A = this chain, B = another copy of it.
């Protein structure tokens, strides 16, 4: 069923049908009504591929999201969507799985839908100039920035936190409370991404306190699944390795870790202090509330859209914005008592 079928049924030309469908003014009321009627009757649905193909440009802004169920993203996505709509544009959301290349996916999306620009959410940290050249629309990396690739700053925009510095700050929180044996829970030490950066911050904080990072205190889960963090934490607790605090690079991991601690008969924060980075909803409802450095999800989304629109509307070029986290104090951290430290 195409626009031609409608046209024939109505004994008008396809252009008339097209005009009706697109709310163009210059159609007689009679024809308009006739077309509408048949459209409803026949349940005509337009083919958007054909529309996209012929439309010179859309008002669409693409949002390429890596990882379907990431709870941190949902807040950011909402913020991005709202900001885009308020500015009078349309958001086109495209999810990709972890294995896919977001640059490629974004490039295809932008071309197929004739988008004005792209926001990449949760991408990877090592683009090359080669890869970026695929994109012929402005784009901004949201929640991350290019730390490991050889890409000059003028070639892209980003809105992110300073992962290393924030991890440093989180671990200092523990150090300042007297903790010295601090375990870390992360996805992978060398993922050339968030895990790696936050791990570097962890190491830096320790070294500053004269502590040599100890590999037996590093829990690599290999994924961001809560079950993996739970198992990893359980293993570390059973290993007999002494520690009094845990730094998790993500809230979700921290929540699972707290549960592992609880199930092993210990308490947070009495036996173990826990801090993390992210500030997702869930961790505010953990018992005790997780103490975490909350990323400004709302602002992250807004700023990303603003930068992109500035470029689209010719107000400016590539920019890099670094946002700070906000300490959300929960009940998962407490000072290491003298007694506790003596028994270590």
Taking Cβ atoms with an 8 Å cutoff, the residues of A that contact B are 1, 43, 45-50, 52-53, 68-69, 71, 73-74, 77-78, 81, 93, 95, 97, 104, 107-108, 111-113, 133-134, 136, 225-227, 230, 255-256, 258-259, 262, 281-282, 284-287, 289
Contact = CB atoms under 8 A, between A and B. Distances in A.
Given A49-B49, A69-B71, A285 B226 contact: yes
A45 B77 contact: no
Nearest to A104: B45
Nearest to A256: B285
Contacts of A45: 104, 107-108, 111, 134
How many monomers of this chain does the complex have? 2
23 contacts: A43-B107, A43-B133, A45-B111, A45-B134, A46-B111, A47-B53, A48-B108, A48-B111, A49-B49, A50-B53, A50-B112, A68-B74, A68-B77, A69-B73, A69-B74, A71-B71, A225-B281, A226-B284, A255-B285, A256-B285, A259-B284, A262-B287, A286-B286
Contacts of A107: 43, 45
A46 B111 CA distance: 8
Contacts of A50: 49, 53, 112
Nearest to A55: B49
A113 B49 contact: yes
Of the candidates A43, A113, A255, the one having the most CB atoms from chain B within 10 angstroms of its own CB is: A43
A253 B225 CA distance: 21
B230 A259 contact: no
